[in-house]
Amino acid sequence: LTKIDKQITETDREKFIELAEGKNLTEVALNLANAYDPDEVDKNVRRIFNLLVDAEPNEVQINETIKQFSNEAIKPFDNPRLREFLETVRQKIYQIIDETNTDRVVRSEFDTTAKENADEIINNFRKFIDDNKDEITALRILYSQPERRKELTYKMIRELNDALTNPPYYLTLEQVWNAYQRVKPNLVNLPAGRQGRTPQRMLTDIITLIRFELRFDETLEPYSEVVNRRFKEWVFKRNAGPVQFNDEQMNWLRMIKDHIVSSVRIEVEDFDRTPFDGEGGLGKFYKLFGSEYEKLLDELNKELAA
């Protein structure tokens, strides 16, 4: 349980709390451990049976205490929905490509070659797209014309990723990315300086994975690389005009670009949050870019997003 807690998404963590009647994974794991921990058992048995400091609890008292606390600790698992949920999460986590041994793939219930496993993952990802292209908003937008790209939101991307990791697909972004890297290594680009090691996947990388599978893009690269390249092209084009951005304006534009990398788009409300609020928020942005700041944000969303 502790290991799972370190690897699950925030959405899954919240779902566990809901199914466990308010207890999180750490609490449930701790209660299970404490039910048999000698120090905790001794403390509890003395409290339950009102034993004096110099009195030693007998075997019956100890066993009764362990039984009472272990029954309480396993109570959340009486919920069949919680048991099913944990099994689903476990499969999502352990169906992974073993990056420390590139000659084999470790996946639950499978003992096939790495190439076969990668092909299976890609086919499963392809099926996910085909099954949901009319059901999930983000997929519908990614299937549409380029002008609809700016409609994507972080919530849509998170819902898309949740659907991918849940039954019946049980896929993670890392799995799909590594599968393409094995099957089509010449078409998968890593950022400069990261060759030889896999960068941590960002939630927004699902965008470039889908675009690559749909053959909208000839190569697969991190979403951050796509946005960075588009940003450079956009700045170059804007600075070629009669008015160029100054250093302070460029610092703000880079913050906006970084926000789009992680959150798909920028909204006026985002200026009340980190890192913008610490730099003066919307008021400062208005001061730097004037009354057409909203038009500028729309342009950035259109030029940089998806």
HEC string of 247-303?
A: HHHHHHHHHHHHHHHHHCCCCHHHHHCCCCHHHCHHHHHHHHHHHHHHHHHHHHHHH
Residue 268's pLDDT band (cuts 50, 70, 90): very high
Tell me the two tokens of residue 225.
């690389």
pLDDT in tens, 32-87: 999 999 999 999 999 999 998 889 999 999 999 999 999 999 999 999 889 888 88
- What local confidence, expressed as pLDDT, does residue 109 receive? 42
- Give the whole-angstrom CA distance, residue 33 versus residue 101: 33
**Residues near 127 by Cβ (< 8 Å), separated by ≥ 6?**
169
- What local confidence, expressed as pLDDT, does residue 100 receive? 39
Task: Please identify which residue in the block is written with the tokens 């999460």.
Answer: 89
Sign of the CA dihedral 10, 15, 20, 23?
positive
Please tell me which residue, 125 or 192, carries the higher pLDDT value: 125
Q: Name all contacts of 76-80 with Cβ < 8 Å and 24+ positions apart.
A: 76/19, 76/20, 76/21, 76/23, 76/28, 79/19, 79/20, 79/21
Q: Measuring CA to CA, which residue among 219, 233, 215, 231 is closest to residue 190?
A: 219
CB-neighbour burial class of residue 153 (10 A; exposed 0-12, middle 13-18, buried 19+): middle
Is the pLDDT at 124 greater than 80? The verdict is yes
Q: How far is CA 206 from the centre of its chain?
A: 10
pLDDT in tens, 147-182: 677 788 999 999 999 899 887 888 888 889 989 999
pLDDT in tens, 95-105: 543 443 444 44
- What local confidence, expressed as pLDDT, does residue 145 receive? 62
Q: Measuring CA to CA, which residue among 159, 15, 135 is closest to residue 79?
A: 15
- Give the whole-angstrom CA distance, residue 270 versus residue 275: 9
Is the pLDDT at 275 greater than 50? The verdict is yes
- What local confidence, expressed as pLDDT, does residue 143 receive? 84
Tell me the two tokens of residue 8.
């699950």
- Give the whole-angstrom CA distance, residue 283 versus residue 288: 9
Is the pLDDT at 189 greater than 90? The verdict is no
- What local confidence, expressed as pLDDT, does residue 127 receive? 96
Tell me the two tokens of residue 179.
């599968």
Is the pLDDT at 259 greater than 70? The verdict is yes
pTM: 0.65
Percent of the chain with pLDDT over 70: 88
**Residues near 252 by Cβ (< 8 Å), separated by ≥ 6?**
279, 284, 285, 288, 289
Residue 200's pLDDT band (cuts 50, 70, 90): low
- What local confidence, expressed as pLDDT, does residue 130 receive? 95
